[in-house]
Chain A
Amino acid sequence: MAGNREFFNRRLHSLLGVIPIGVFLTQHLVVNHFVTGGPDSFEKAAAFMGNLPFRIVLETVIIYLPMLFHAIYGLYIVFTAKSNVKNFGFFRNWLYVIQRITGVITLIFIAWHVWQTRVADALGTADVSYEMMHNILSSPVMFVFYLVGILSAIFHFANGLWSFLVSWGITVSPRSQVISTYVTIGIFVILSIVGIQTLIAFVS
């Protein structure tokens, strides 16, 4: 018996990507979408989230720890892959590669995003507000960076949800995997619209 730590880590990585990280991503995109109703609407929603009781506990358990594990173990998974789309240009193989690329982009984006907003707020150098996001996104470079980061995160979540269903043995038959492909494409499109509308609303 060689032990099954790897099995546990891999399954935990897969689970954490959906619960809580995927759920948090969706919630975060939806709450930020309040900005389409004007700055006041966003401030109200952000204040509600920011003033939740036990905030630091919620953040640690639901966001920081799962994301740290998912990111670090995810990087290990990326480094163990040997991409071969040149000789095997199948649809799923491309998604496999893009999943790994978007994972790394998302990691860079989230590190920056957390530093720029939550950490800055904690250090007292800035206040998370409409004003802050408006200023950040007014720079075309940062707008593109956020656009790419958000789309990467959404793709990584949607496609990761598809793999989660396979890895846990929920979608077994080829037909169920095709249906879940369409469902996850739908999730990608819908969340992308939500994200892009939010970004545009912050600068307009």
Chain B
Amino acid sequence: MSEKKTVKFIIARQDTPDSAPYEETFEIPYRPNMNVISALMEIRKNPVTDKGQDTTPITWEMNCLEEVCGACSMVINGKPRQSCSALVDQLEQPIRLEPMRTFPVVRDLQVDRSRMFDSLKKVKAWIPIDGTYDLGPGPRMPEKKRQWAYELSKCMTCGVCLEACPNVNSKTNFMGPAIFNQVRLFNAHPTGEMNKAERLNAFMDDGGMQGCGNSQNCVQSCPKGIPITTSIAAVNRDATMQAFRNFFGSDHD
């Protein structure tokens, strides 16, 4: 072993939701197969910057550590992605970490993704099955359709598509790409389909689906490879039909 290899990180810090962000540089010893989270844990053990100054440990969120929960999303070298699956060996150094600033920053790399969950509530992204009596089994879903819907259901509300979208910002109240996919998923479900019009109407309300400008960054950035732009166009089609039904009236749904 010759000289000791190190990994350099430039990390955006922010002490409170309202304070100004600043940068700190850290240099930590290299270990094989490191990911960004293991590096952040290493820094947390001994939070000292590359200039030898003591600092506070970095705040970030994490949970599953296998890219299915979406909690550890952050902007790594300019691209929003999950830090658990961001391998140090595959990243250009120095590695720059920033929070996804499309969302309110809580502290350092931790953001508040509530707006996505609020949107899902608004568009009723669930299957209503509760009642005062047993409703019995719902309609069966064909296996082929289930497999297709499974791909849409991989969305973990991580927020990467909102971060990549040029239309999700403080100037609009566009709900963002992920919501299209969820509306399509629940409208495709045989039981969920019974509330299709309700979901579409909620999504067509002001601040819902209109902001999409077709830059298609979402589908390029989605870590789960969800066909978001196909979902957008499909929901656009359904919304077109729904708008006609609303305007001209319809003797069914």
**Residues of A close to B211: CB separation below 8 A:** 80
Closest to B235 in A: A169
Q: B41 at the A/B interface (Cβ < 8 Å)?
A: no
Chain B, interface residues (CB within 8 Å), range: 35 or more
Q: Contacts A6-B210, A81-B167, A88-B164: A174 and B240 contacting too (C-beta < 8 A)?
A: no
Query: 1/0 contact trace for B157-182 toward A, CB 8 Å?
Result: 00000001011010110000000000
By the criterion CB–CB under 8 Å, are A4 and B206 in contact?
Answer: yes
Looking at A90-98, A111-119, A190-198, the stretch in contact with chain B turns out to be: A90-98
Q: B239 at the A/B interface (Cβ < 8 Å)?
A: yes
Q: B65 at the A/B interface (Cβ < 8 Å)?
A: no
Closest to A170 in B: B237
Query: 1/0 contact trace for B200-237 toward A, CB 8 Å?
Result: 01001111111111111100110000010110111111
Q: How far does the Cβ of B172 sit from chain A's closest Cβ, in whole Å?
A: 5
Number of A residues with CB within 8 Å of any CB on chain B = 39
Q: Contacts A81-B213, A167-B236, A169-B236: A6 and B164 contacting too (C-beta < 8 A)?
A: no
By the criterion CB–CB under 8 Å, are A81 and B210 in contact?
Answer: no
Closest to B216 in A: A92
By the criterion CB–CB under 8 Å, are B166 and A81 in contact?
Answer: yes
By the criterion CB–CB under 8 Å, are A7 and B209 in contact?
Answer: yes
Q: A129 at the A/B interface (Cβ < 8 Å)?
A: no
Q: How far does the Cβ of B227 sit from chain A's closest Cβ, in whole Å?
A: 7
The CA of A181 and the CA of B242, in the complex, are separated in Å by 27
Q: A41 at the A/B interface (Cβ < 8 Å)?
A: no
Interface of chain B residues 45 through 94 with chain A (CB within 8 A): 78-79
Interface centre among B167, B232, B233 (most CB of A within 10 A): B233
Q: B106 at the A/B interface (Cβ < 8 Å)?
A: no
Q: A3 at the A/B interface (Cβ < 8 Å)?
A: yes
**Residues of B close to A11: CB separation below 8 A:** 240, 243
By the criterion CB–CB under 8 Å, are B210 and A93 in contact?
Answer: no
Q: How far does the Cβ of B101 sit from chain A's closest Cβ, in whole Å?
A: 11
The CA of A198 and the CA of B238, in the complex, are separated in Å by 42
Contact of B217 among A7, A79, A84, A170 (CB under 8 A): A84
By the criterion CB–CB under 8 Å, are B234 and A169 in contact?
Answer: yes
Q: A168 at the A/B interface (Cβ < 8 Å)?
A: yes
Q: A10 at the A/B interface (Cβ < 8 Å)?
A: yes
Q: Contacts A3-B205, A7-B204, A177-B229: A172 and B237 contacting too (C-beta < 8 A)?
A: yes
**Residues of A close to B214: CB separation below 8 A:** 92, 96, 162-163, 166-167
By the criterion CB–CB under 8 Å, are A84 and B166 in contact?
Answer: yes
Q: How far does the Cβ of B222 sit from chain A's closest Cβ, in whole Å?
A: 12
Query: 1/0 contact trace for A63-98 toward B, CB 8 Å?
Result: 000000000000001011111101110101100110
The CA of A6 and the CA of B206, in the complex, are separated in Å by 5
Contact of A80 among B79, B172, B205, B209 (CB under 8 A): B172
Closest to A94 in B: B215
Q: How far does the Cβ of B105 sit from chain A's closest Cβ, in whole Å?
A: 17
Q: A1 at the A/B interface (Cβ < 8 Å)?
A: yes
**Residues of A close to B210: CB separation below 8 A:** 6-7, 9-10
Contact of A87 among B78, B207, B234, B238 (CB under 8 A): B78
By the criterion CB–CB under 8 Å, are B220 and A169 in contact?
Answer: no
By the criterion CB–CB under 8 Å, are A88 and B236 in contact?
Answer: no
**Residues of A close to B204: CB separation below 8 A:** 4, 7
The CA of A6 and the CA of B205, in the complex, are separated in Å by 8
Q: Contacts A90-B217, A169-B237: A2 and B232 contacting too (C-beta < 8 A)?
A: no
The CA of A166 and the CA of B78, in the complex, are separated in Å by 28
Residues on B close to A: CB < 8 A?
A: 78-79, 164, 166-167, 169, 171-172, 201, 204-217, 220-221, 227, 229-230, 232-240, 243
